[in-house]
Structures are given as C-alpha cells and as structure tokens.
Amino acid sequence: MQYHIWTIGCQMNVADSRRTAAGLERLGYTPAARAEDADVIILNTCVVRQQPEDKAVGRLNQLRRVKERHPERILALMGCMVGVKETAALQARFPWVDVFLPPSDPTELWALLAERGHLDEAQTLIADAEARRLALGRADTILPPSEQASIVSAHLPIVLGCSHACTYCVIPYRRGAERSRPPAAILAEARQMVAQGVKEITLLGQIVDRYGYDLPEFAGAAETPLVTLLRQMHEIEGLERLRFLTSHPNWMTDDLLRAVAELPKVCEHIEVPIQAGADEVLARMRRGYTVDDYRRLVARLRETIPGVSIATDIIVGFPGETEAQFRHTYELLAELKLDKAHIARYSPRPQTVATRTMTDDVPQEEKERRRKALDDLQAAVLEELNARYLGQTVAVLVEGRHVRQKRWFGRTRTERLVFFPAEGNWLGRLAQVKITWTGPWSLIGEIIR
C-alpha cells in the first residue's frame, strides 16, 4: 500500500503533511514518488493567494483521470482550500474527491480508510487510536519513519488558527479561531522529534507571540508565555537550534526579545511582516500599527538582539494603494535594509473584509511592476548585507546535499543559505564554514571543521 502527499503553502502545511504521513506509515503505507502510483493521494492546499489555489485546482483536474481509471483509490483534499466549516460546495465542484480534511486535522481520513476496508483489524485499532490522540492533542510520532534521519529541521505548530482578521487575509476563515496547544503536548512532540534526529525546531503560529494567552497554564503569569515555552524547549538535550514564526509587531514583548538574546539555542532571526509602508494602507489592512511603530520595533530588535536578522512580508497593490503610498513602502524597505522580504501581489480572497468592502483597483501589470521594483531593491540590499559575510567563519547546520553539484547545504543562525563542498557525511552536523563567495540569495564557503 502506497501514499502520496502533495503539499503547497506555508510551513504549517508542511508540518500537517508530515504528521499525516507519519499516521499513514504507522498503518503500513509506504511513500510513492508519483501520485499516479499511490493508493491514497492527498493534496494539501493553500488559498492565501490566487496562485497556489489555481495550482491545486490544476492538480485536482489531473487526478480526476487517475480516479476514473482507479476508482478504488482514495483522493483526499486537505488544508485551507477545505477550511473548517462547509464542504458542500467543494463536493459539488470536485465530486471525484473522496474526503475533505480541514487544516491540521486528518481524522476523517482514518475513518474513511477503515470504512472502505483499506485497513485490517489491527490497523483499524491503530487508526482509532490515531484519531483519539489527535482529538486529545497528545504527542504522537510526528515524523514519518521514511523521512526520519533525513529531517534536520522541523516545524512544530504551537498556535492554530488566527483571530486577528487582517482585511486581506483568508486564514481566520479557513483555519478557524486562534487556539494554543498545551505546552505538555508541544514538549512531548519536540522531544520525540529530537529523538528521531531533528536538530532544529521552528515553532509555528500565525501570531506566534500570542502563544499561551488563552491557556489556563499561563493565567496570571508575569512572563510572556512564549518565553516560558522557549525556556522549557531550551532544556531538551540534543536540540541545537530553536526558532519561532510568524511574529506580529504588536505582540513582541521586551522579555521575548531578551529571551532571544539570552537563550543560546534560540536563533537571532525574527520574521515580522510589515505588509505596507504607508499608514493609510496599514489602517485599511487593519494591521493595528503605524510605519513609525514598525521602525521603532526594528530599532528595538537591533538594540536588544545583537546581530539579529529580520525578515518581512509585503503586499503590493492592496485596494486603493496609490503610487505615492507604494513609494513609501519602497523607501522604507531601502531605509530599513531587512534581511529578507517576501513580496506578494494582492489577490482578493473569499469572505475577507477587503473583498467584501473594497475594490481590487490596482491593475495586474501595475501590481507586477511594484512587486518587481521591491524585489530588485531587496536583491541589491541583500547583495550588500551578505557581502559582510565574506571571509567570516559561520556555524552552518547542515540540512542536505545537492546531489548534482556535490555540495552540502545548510543555514546560518541568521537564515543564510550556505553551500560548501566536503567529503564524508555532514547531514545534521554543525559545520564551521569560511565564506568565500556571497550573492543575494546564498553564500558559498569552505569547511574549516
């Protein structure tokens, strides 16, 4: 019996896919490289912008033929295309899909496999236990055995859903209200990941800094709950690096910043989207801060966390964004010189406030022009920032090997991608690499030890 999971979208989806794969492997399934060869095919989808949604629909249409030839195979649609409530419309649109799985919740798949007779008695018991474990939020094997020992860096969701409702964003409507997972479950999963060979864990949440405010464990606590969790995670032996994302400017407390600076395993890298560089646009996005607030946050980060690397997200062409407002974003990015910027063209998403109350009035070509202008600017910024690494020796956590180029690759604590040639097996090791070449997107170096 074979399975195939196709994943698109955020790190949360990657984590959900791995967890689902782990469940399938516990039931005796093995991975298939091609969807066409698998008995169970899962598409884990993203609808945060139009493009990933179009890709998923394309895959679904291709798989229709596979389902027609092999009706006994199971096709599951998972993730944000499904959402948390109604699937009737999707069922009508894609009747060849067997089961619809909400984000982070494959429970229905286990039930269907048992019902369809895909599982024998013992496997059905395992599937039942799997469903119960998920319902209770207990720890389980989160990495599929087929991938264990090859995953050096893993993602661990700690806050599910989102209740902020930025006007452009579909996530609250697809992943449901914000809820934190109990620390005991998170720590148990983290320990299990480390026992399975993981060296770096990235804690995930839409606003990850809001972790724990909804949990009785942290009621009345003086410390920011995420700080408490980071300290507990820090104790895990064998774990080398800790990260967390995504942050929101309004929730980055002083003690959180200090914890990043003080806890050696916590990497000095912060992902905190600004989304726009003009106050009027930020207000209409309902982000809850001004450009000056963000400026001050960047200064605070740089002051408190030595050598901090800062990544951001920006949306261009939000409804009503004028050329002057776009220029503000451009100038801000040139001024702040951040370490990474992910630039997206705005696309209207169903149910969102922006779609319901605003007109998508920036033409597609204009959105593309703005995107490209920011991308070019950021490439120049990165070229300059990365040149500082030349001649330096950096610690690289090795994540894999480029087979054709015969080079190992990994990341610095500041999320720079580094390639280096070396004999022997470096996977999962911390290599000291002296940088000999730098570009905007990666660095190359030679191994010191």
Q: Which residues bind ligand SAH (CB under 6 A)?
A: 48-49, 168-169, 171, 206-207, 246, 248, 273, 275, 313, 315, 344, 346-347, 349
Q: Which is nearer to ligand SAH, 352 or 386 (CB)?
A: 352
| Minimum distance of ligand SAH from residue 248's CB (angstroms) | 5
In terms of DSSP H, where are the helices of 240-344? 254-262, 279-285, 291-304, 323-336
Q: Which is nearer to ligand SAH, 102 or 172 (CB)?
A: 172
Q: Which is nearer to ligand SAH, 344 or 379 (CB)?
A: 344
What is the per-residue burial (b if ≥16 Cβ within 10 Å, else e) of 70-83? eeebbbbbbbbbbb
Q: What letter does residue 161 receive in the DSSP assignment? A: S
In terms of DSSP H, where are the helices of 70-120? 88-93, 107-115
- Order the strands of the 340-345 sheet from edge to edge: 269-271, 309-316, 340-345
396 close to 373: Cβ distance less than 8 angstroms: no
Tell me the residue nearest to ligand SAH as measured from the CB: 313
265 close to 303: Cβ distance less than 8 angstroms: no
349 close to 396: Cβ distance less than 8 angstroms: no
Q: Which is nearer to ligand SAH, 124 or 246 (CB)?
A: 246
Half-sphere exposure of 302 (CA within 13 A, CB side): 12
| Minimum distance of ligand SAH from residue 275's CB (angstroms) | 6
Q: Which is nearer to ligand SAH, 325 or 347 (CB)?
A: 347
| Minimum distance of ligand SAH from residue 406's CB (angstroms) | 35
| Minimum distance of ligand SAH from residue 318's CB (angstroms) | 8
| Minimum distance of ligand SAH from residue 428's CB (angstroms) | 29
Count other Cβ atoms within 10 Å, centred on residue 361: 11
Q: Which is nearer to ligand SAH, 262 or 415 (CB)?
A: 415
| Minimum distance of ligand SAH from residue 333's CB (angstroms) | 13
Among all chains, which residue has been given the structure tokens 């774990």?
239
